[in-house]
Chains A and B, each alone.
Chain A
Amino acid sequence: MVGITSYGVYVPFNRLSRDEIAGTWDTASMGGEKAVANFDEDVITMAVAAARECIKKKELGEVDGLFLATTSSPYKEKLAASIVAAALDLSPSIRTADFTNSLRSGTIAMNSAIDAVKSGAARNIIVVAADCRLGVPQSGLEQIVGDGAAAVMIGDSGIIASIDGSYSLFNPSIDIWREEKDPFIRSWEERFVIVEGYQRYMKDSVSRLMKNCGVSSKDFSRVILYGPDERNQVTLAKILGFNSKQIQNTFFSQIGNLGNAAAMMMLAATFEDLEPGDKILFTNYGDGSDSFILSVTEEIKKVSKTGDIRSQLNFKRNISYGKYIKWRRLFELEEPRRPKPPTPSITCIWREQKKIFTLYGVRCKKCGTIQFPPQRVCVGCQTMDDFENYKLSDKVGKIFTLSVDYLARSLDPPTVFSSVDFEGGGRATFMMTDCDPSQVHIGMDVEMTFRKLYEEGRINNYYWKAKPLQRR
């Protein structure tokens, strides 16, 4: 049997209200908010966050595949999944792939993972979907799209929802698209896009799948219909004959349309309140449609409730449109009058990859002192070259001291620097993120998060930062 064995979501800390956007442009507001990736976040870092939640939720076998689905990878040529897999400390011999160029990449990747597990080529594949798309300033799409990530694990044991059937269709029409050199997504006339694209293909894939599996609309406890926005999703549900109790909320008013992560985020939310035996219809749209029928199993009871969507939706702060412009570099802004950071040496990053991607320090075998970054000579007892590796990315810590720095170059000053004492040993200095600088204090509990420090020389420099520990 093949099915979903775990799931995880990541909603960024920042929200931009649609009134704020509409107020800036003097246009009509769709109401609500959209989730916005912090200045130090992108598809790679958000994918790491969602996949970490997925891994944390449940005791699972060795992960032997990581598929990343996105239309907004920070790199056109460079396997983003490889960086995500490194940050997750996965074995270097696993399968990695980026599924790109479609809003349906997430479910296309799921189908590939299902096939790989079915064939016996793999046993546990993480499919993580993340997007950070840009609508043209003052367009409707600008208000619609939000940023975030969601992950599912596909496997053959410990299944929380079996996959009982699937159906796929493609649509060659260019309804929503982004040309290679364009930073912004474009759309054809909305009525056409909805009626001849979204509605037609969703309807086709759902009805054919139900017919193939011999089920009807009332057999489902929950129906997950991807929706470009809430209004169009509700309309489609009515056309398909589902009642409002069956329909999974899109979270459109809270976080917006998360692109590839949208449908998977809804799937994760469904798992949070279904019981064994419940049947789910899961349908995605993007250049066609993928539909799945799933059945929830007894295993769902073994899933930890940490990192649930509700707590992530509540953990937030609102930002101004000015900040959004700055973070997404929507147009040229004055450079800070501070020295530029060094262009990262790829050689150095390669040499220090265990430190940089996974936050490995060392523990002295003689005196036990845990130290980060890794040293050749022990800071505790000066013993040379007698260490074992020690991972810090999964440890929590306390702030020993800190500073709130208005001078350091940043897209979002002030930058908080803190000296973190890790539970179990080890001290190191980190930048902080996703925090209110006025609330950060000595003794505060923190956890580690994978982020982008800066871009220089067309290289994204990833590393770990500390953030306030999210109480769940």
Chain B
Amino acid sequence: MESIKDRVAIIGMGCTKFGELWDKSVEDLIVEAAKEAFEDAGIQPRDVQAAWVGTVDSGITAITLSSPLKLQYIPVTRVENMCATGAEALRGAVYAVAAGACDIALAVGVEKLKDTGWSGAPDANVVGCSRIGVSGTEPACSAPSVFAMLANRYFHHFGIDPEQGKRYIAQIAVKNHYNGSLNPKAHYQREITMEQVMNAPIVAWPFGVFDCCGVSDGAAAAIVTRADMARNFREDPIYIKAMALSAGARQAQLKQDYDYVHVEESVISSKRAYAEAGIKNPRKELNIAEVHDCFTFHEMCLYEDLGWCDKGKAWEDIEAGTFRLKGELPVNTDGGLKCFGHPIGASGLRMMYEVYKQLQGKAGLRQVKNPQLGLTHTMGGIIGAAVVSCVIVGNQKG
């Protein structure tokens, strides 16, 4: 099996502002994200030889992308992997280039969540279910509920007082809001206090409103090419070092031996990515990471699942500030799902947009000092039935 390492590079990216974009359609979002990416790469839409579009609910088939951009009869594919959809679109483009099927490929992720007339994300019980006919007996819990089940067991398992546990994860909300306040494209750009997080109305204990990510509209895009051609387009291409994906099979839901204090798909996906990238000590070698902080506790859990902290000990690093903007390993420097927002199909590519800008030194007020290697992690689906993507990129080839 060949490694993807250093065979493909990102030469252009775009990302819309995320938020409640009442005046923008799916088409508007796609055009805006793609336009920025084309300008960034210095190419024209006609230069693209193949394209992927990721969306969960905002469009069926390739036409979702080909029509707004008026792509001229090139191969286009629509992909979906719940919250890992954007990462999946990128994966399709990267592997096509690596396979030699094309030299320049486009990946776009998009979601328009605010046209429904109700608040919050769609229910999470649709994973692996038909949309045509269902018995309607799957437990129809909300997305926060899925992760609350993980958090509640975690606190119980490690003997953490739930109130104390809530204070640990509240610090993640405060951190991501601080980062978001430095990001003009973020849905939420205001700092918040511990008191605000702790006193917010409860959605699903331990999650209050401020523990939940934004429900947003938005799109992001990437243009990839062969690594050996990348510098023909720009001085600072970003190279793909690893691309891993792991899908669960409902093990955690069905088997009593699953502990409900970690997400196995994340553990496996990240291990594969580190191996492919040749990373031995991820906490030391990674300089920046964007992870799937759909709910604050999940970011805490990921500190462990991604191999940066011992199991049950993430709280020590939260208290130490390890993952803050100026910490040892800055996480979700753009505000994360929490503040940048979470247009489902776009999020995987939005994470890459931040890492790409950081590695190019173009992240403005939130620029991390001289980063070389970054990771994006997105989890689609629910506990026991998740699809987890881990992508590692670097600004140096070889």
Contacts and interface: CB of A to CB of B under 8 A. Distances in A.
A369 B149 CA distance: 23
B254 A371 contact: yes
Nearest to B122: A339
B254 A427 contact: yes
Interface in B113-154: 116-120, 122-123, 132-137, 139-142, 144-146, 148-150, 152-153
A265 B148 CA distance: 42
Contacts, number: 132
Given A345-B132, A407-B203, 19 more contacts: A338-B123, A339-B123, A344-B134, A348-B134, A348-B136, A355-B137, A379-B249, A380-B255, A401-B150, A401-B153, A405-B142, A405-B204, A408-B145, A417-B139, A417-B149, A427-B253, A427-B254, A428-B253, A461-B135
Given A401-B152, A407-B203, A408-B145, A369 B255 contact: yes
A139 to B, nearest CB: 35
Nearest to A337: B118
B384 to A, nearest CB: 9
A342 B134 contact: yes
Contacts of A429: 139, 141, 253
A380 B256 CA distance: 11
Nearest to A353: B135
Contact of B149 (A347, A403, A425): A403
Contact of A463 (B137, B150, B156, B254): B137
A417 B148 CA distance: 10
B251 A379 contact: yes
Contact of A400 (B132, B205, B260): B260
Interface in B244-261: 249-251, 253-256, 258, 260
Interface in B144-182: 144-146, 148-150, 152-153, 156
Contacts of B320: none
A356 interface: yes
A407 to B, nearest CB: 4
Contact of B136 (A342, A408, A419, A430): A342
A319 interface: no
Interface in B184-218: 201-205
B135 A431 contact: no
A463 B135 CA distance: 10
B255 A427 contact: yes
Interface residues of A, number: 49
B130 to A, nearest CB: 8
A214 interface: no
B34 to A, nearest CB: 29
B204 A409 contact: no
Given A344-B136, A349-B135, A339 B254 contact: no
Contacts of A404: 148, 202, 204-205
26 contacts: A338-B123, A339-B122, A345-B133, A348-B135, A380-B255, A401-B260, A402-B152, A403-B141, A403-B152, A405-B141, A406-B201, A408-B123, A408-B140, A408-B141, A414-B204, A415-B141, A415-B145, A417-B145, A425-B256, A426-B256, A427-B258, A430-B139, A453-B140, A454-B136, A461-B136, A463-B137
Contacts of B204: 403-407, 414
Contacts of A347: 133
Contact of A379 (B122, B145, B203, B254): B254
Interface in A379-410: 379-380, 400-409
Given A400-B153, A405-B142, A405-B144, A379 B250 contact: yes
Contacts of A337: 117-119
Contacts of B250: 379
A419 B144 contact: no
**Which 3 residue pairs across A and B have the least CB separation, nearest first?**
A345-B133, A403-B148, A401-B153
Interface string B214-240: 000000000000000000000000000
A461 to B, nearest CB: 5
Contacts of A453: 136-137, 140
A380 B117 CA distance: 43
Interface string A326-349: 000000000011110111110111
A348 B132 CA distance: 10
A429 B205 CA distance: 17
A1 to B, nearest CB: 44
Contacts of A409: 123, 140
Contacts of B251: 379
Given A379-B255, A406-B203, A454-B136, A401 B145 contact: no
A347 B134 CA distance: 9
Contacts of B137: 344, 352, 355-356, 453, 461, 463
B118 A402 contact: no
Nearest to A441: B156
B214 to A, nearest CB: 15
Interface in A350-372: 352, 355-356, 369, 371-372
Contacts of B119: 337
A456 interface: yes
